[in-house]
């Protein structure tokens, strides 16, 4: 699996892509694969303050609920409304189906996250357990 470069990854399997002071957040292919068929995505409202490492929403499969963790702090400026009616997009195109866009509060926070290559290694180890 190739994870897109130019993004940062968390140990909780979220990705974040920045352009200027905006961060776009989604979950990784590994995450959608282990969750199975996603049936519902619960996202915060525009204007919500996210704190790095804290939960900001949930993704549900038929028999499991997983929290979403913010890769970085910031204010939600846009939510992918499409996921409300088509949660399956997360399964089909995890790295395209973004969830929220935030105005980054402290872009330096991203330095602590993994690169695509590091994340791929991390995932390989986790799957090995």
Partner 1 sequence: MRYLPKSPADREAMLKAIGLRSVDDLFAPIPAEYRLNRDLKIPRQMAESEIVDFFRQRSRENGDGYTSFLGAGAYFHYRPVVIDSLISRGEFLTAYTPYQAEISQGTLQSIFEFQTMICELTGMEVANASMYDGSTAAAEAVMMAVRLTGRRSVVVARSLHPEYREVLATYATHQGMPLTVAGFGENGRLNLKELEKSITAETAAVLVQSPNFFGTIEDVVAIAEIAHKHGAMLVVSIAEAVSLGIVEPPREADVIAMEAQSFGVPMGFGGPYCGVIATREKYVRQMPGRLVGQTTDKHGKRGFVLTLATREQHIRREKATSNICTNQALIALMVNIFMTVYGKVGLKELAKQNLAKTAYAAGQFAKHGKVLFGSAPRFSEFVVQTSEDPYAVNGRLLGHKMVGGLPLKKFYPELGNAALWCCTEMTTRTAIDTAVGLVAESERSVRSGKEEVDVEEVAR
Partner 2 sequence: MKRMTRKATRHVNQNEGLIFEKSSAGKAAWKLPPLDVPEVDTAALLGGVERKDLGNMPEVSEIEIIRHFTRLSTWNYAIDLGMYPLGSCTMKYNPRVNEAVARVEGIANGHPYQPERISQGALLILKTLSECLLEITGMDAITLQPAAGAHGEMTGLLMVRAYHQSQGNARKKILIPDSAHGTNPATAAMVNYAVENLKSDSRGMVDIGALEAQMNKDVAALMLTNPNTLGIFEQNIHKIADILHAKGGLLYMDGANMNALVGKVRPGDFGVDVMHLNLHKTFSTPHGGGGPGSGPVAIKKALEPFLPRPVVVTKTDGTLGFDYDRPQSVGRVRAFYGNFGMFVRALAYIQANGPDGLRQTTEDAVLNANYIRKGLEGTYHLPYSTPTMHEVVFSDKLQAKKGVRTMDIAKRLIDYGFHPYTTAFPLIVPGALMIEPTESESKEEMDLFIEAMRSIAEEVEEDPQTVLDAPHSTRVSRLDETAAARKPVLRWKPTA
The contact set with partner 1 (CB under 8 A) reads 40, 42, 60-65
Applying CB under 8 A, the residues found at the interface with partner 2 are: 37, 39-40, 60-62, 87-88
Choose between 1 and 40: whose C-beta lies nearer to partner 2. 40
Least distance from C-beta 18 to partner 2, angstroms?
31
| CB-based contact 74:103 (threshold 8 Å) | yes
Closer residue to partner 1 in complex, CB, 62/81 = 62
Which CB atom, from 60 or from 78, has the smaller least distance to partner 2? 60
SS (H, E, C) the chain: CCCCCCCEECCCCEEEEEECCEEEEEECHHHHHHHCCEEEEECCCCCCEECCCCEEEEEEECCCEEEEECCCCEEEEEECCHHHHCCHHHHHCCCCCCCEEEEECCHHHHHHCECHHHHHHHHHHHHHC
Q: For residue 55, list its beta bridge partners.
A: 69
Binding partner of residue 87 among partner 2, partner 1, none, CB cut-off 5 to 8 Å per kind: partner 2
With CB under 5 to 8 Å by kind, the binding choice for 112 among partner 1, partner 2, none is: none
Is 42 or 78 the residue whose CB approaches partner 1 more closely?
Answer: 42
CB of 39 to partner 2, least distance (A): 4
Q: Tell the smallest beta-carbon distance from residue 84 to partner 2 (Å).
A: 11
């Amino acid at each position: 699996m190739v994870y897109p470069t130019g993004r940062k990854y968390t140990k909780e399997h979220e990705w974040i892509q920045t352009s200027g002071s905006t961060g776009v957040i989604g979950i990784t292919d590994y995450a959608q694969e282990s969750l199975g068929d996603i049936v519902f995505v619960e996202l915060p409202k525009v204007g919500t303050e996210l704190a790095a490492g804290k939960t900001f929403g949930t993704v549900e499969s038929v028999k499991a609920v997983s929290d979403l963790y913010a890769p970085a702090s910031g204010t939600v400026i846009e939510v992918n409304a499409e996921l409300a009616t088509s949660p399956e997009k997360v399964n089909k195109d995890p790295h395209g189906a973004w969830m929220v866009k935030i105005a980054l509060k402290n872009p330096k926070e991203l330095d602590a996250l993994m690169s695509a290559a590091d994340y791929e290694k991390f995932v390989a180890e986790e799957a090995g357990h």
